[in-house]
Amino acid sequence: MVDPLTIAHGAEWTVKHGFVYPNEFIYWGLTIVMYPYMTGLVAGAFVLSSLYHVFGQKDLKDIAKFALVFSLALLPVAMMPLMLHLQQPLRGIEVMFTPHFTSAIAAFGMVFTTYSIIVLSEIWFVYRQYFVEQTRALKGSTDTGDQIKRVIYNVLTLGAYDISEEAVAKDHKAVTILAGIGIPVACFLHGYAGFIFGSVKANALWMSPLMPVIFIMSAVVSGIALCMLTYIIIMEWKKFRAVLRKGLGDESVTVIAGVEMDVMKKTSRYLIGFLIAAITLELLDIIFRGYTSMKSWDILREVMFEEDFTKIFILQYGLGNVLPFILLMLPKMTIRRLFVALCLILFGVFMMRWNVVIGGQAFSLSFSGFMNYDLPIIPHNLETYREGLFGALTVAATPFIIFWLINKIVPSMKEV
């Protein structure tokens, strides 16, 4: 048994070579990769839903409601990796008690809470009519399940039972306003994650004023991609069930397939737009660093073009950006091709987060040494679980479980 006091945090997954200061390790591992990735998905999903609610992009109507509920499911998960990462998770709440406002992290709790309130109230306004209708429909039912459901819906109405045309019109207005406020807040939430990295002056790779903007763009890309992907999976499942029940040639199967393709084609246009913006900004950042060739460029170049070449140029830009871009631009789109492209985009954004967070720690502050990250796969203690593959998988799986639970009460896929 190794004495735990001889293990420095980070030493278990850091491999140093070259001249690295003794205290340097990869302190921010996979959990911190997951953090901007998850907040990005939240922000992206919300922006997608707002495009319909605020700007009246009618073509996004079907996916908007789904995206909104999904962004609620993702919300608690944006906090999860941070809590997993803290050395003192129980003290995390101190950020709310004694926020130290010169720190970029200090306002996180507040921004996050504001955003949560906006998402929750927007959902409430969207579904209020439905809650009231359910409460009335389930009245008098003797089934215990129905009775429990009725109590839940009754509570969710918050006592506002008025569903006259006038009241519902007011609801819609409130949704528009909330979605309108929500867009800058969602962008702020995520641009803010970018600022947390971009403002670290000690880190040559992170420090860039472009960082928040890059983060927002890639956030919207990943959020839209995840919404589309989940939408496809759910529609395919519906189609599959329809085929089982009514046979392959049934009209309902073609209707579902038609709707699915239609929604996807329209949404992918927005996806491509944001993807172009994201890639352009990232390339601008690299070109600028190369052209100005500051002191840190020597080591950055070595990290980008030698140490992490595969991760950055092959996995992130090649597989994650260029290939899906081509797949999306080719004529005669099919769901299968779209599915592949979306998976690749999500992977590409994940690799971007990885290359920022881990890549930023891949070189020493001495500018003459490197650190490699050995992802802990099989956990042998709490530390290697939290910061390892299984911790990240827990984080990645949670939104789908939450979405499944929320969907039991707030159906995001049905017409209401």
Q: Least distance in Å: CB of 131 to another protein?
A: 16
With helix as H, strand as E and coil as C, how does the chain read? CCCHHHCCCCCCCEEEEEECCCCCCCCCCHHHHHHHHHHHHHHHHHHHHHHHHCCCCHHHHHHHHHHHHHHHHHHHHHHHHHHHHCCCHHHCCHHHHCCCCCCCCCCHHHHHHHHHHHHHHHHHHHHHHHHHHHHHHCCCCCCHHHHHHHHHHHHHCCCCCCCCHHHHHHHHHHHHHHHHHHHHHHHHHHHHHHHHHHCCCCCCCCCCCCHHHHHHHHHHHHHHHHHHHHHHHHHHHHHHHHHHHHCCCCHHHHHHHHHHHHHHHHHHHHHHHHHHHHHHHHHHHHHHHHHHCCCCHHHHHHHHHHHCHHHHHHHHHHHHHHHHHHHHHCCCCCHHHHHHHHHHHHHHHHHHHHHHHCHHHCECCCCEEEEEECCCCCCCCHHHHHCCHHHHHHHHHHHHHHHHHHHHHCCCCCCC
Please tell me whether residue 377 binds another protein under the rule CB under 8 A: no
Binding piece for another protein, criterion CB under 8 A, among 7-15, 111-119, 241-249, 315-323: 7-15
Q: Going residue by residue from 67 to 96, which x/- string records binding to another protein, judged by CB under 8 A? A: ---------------x--xxxx--xx-xx-
CB of 123 to another protein, least distance (A): 24
In this chain, which stretch among 3-11, 119-127, 139-147, 344-352 interacts with another protein, using CB under 8 A?
3-11
Q: Which is nearer to another protein, 24 or 146 (CB)?
A: 24
- Residue 21 lies near another protein (rule: CB under 8 A): yes
With binding defined as CB under 8 A, does residue 100 bind another protein?
yes
**Least Å distance between CB 307 and another protein?**
10
59 lines the binding site for another protein (CB under 8 A)? no
Q: Which stretch binds another protein (CB under 8 A): 227-235, 247-255, 342-350, 358-366?
A: 358-366
Region 286-315 residues binding another protein, contact defined as CB under 8 A? 295, 302
Interface positions with another protein (CB under 8 A): 3-11, 17-25, 27-28, 82, 85-88, 91-92, 94-95, 97-100, 102-106, 108, 159, 196, 199-203, 295, 302, 364-369
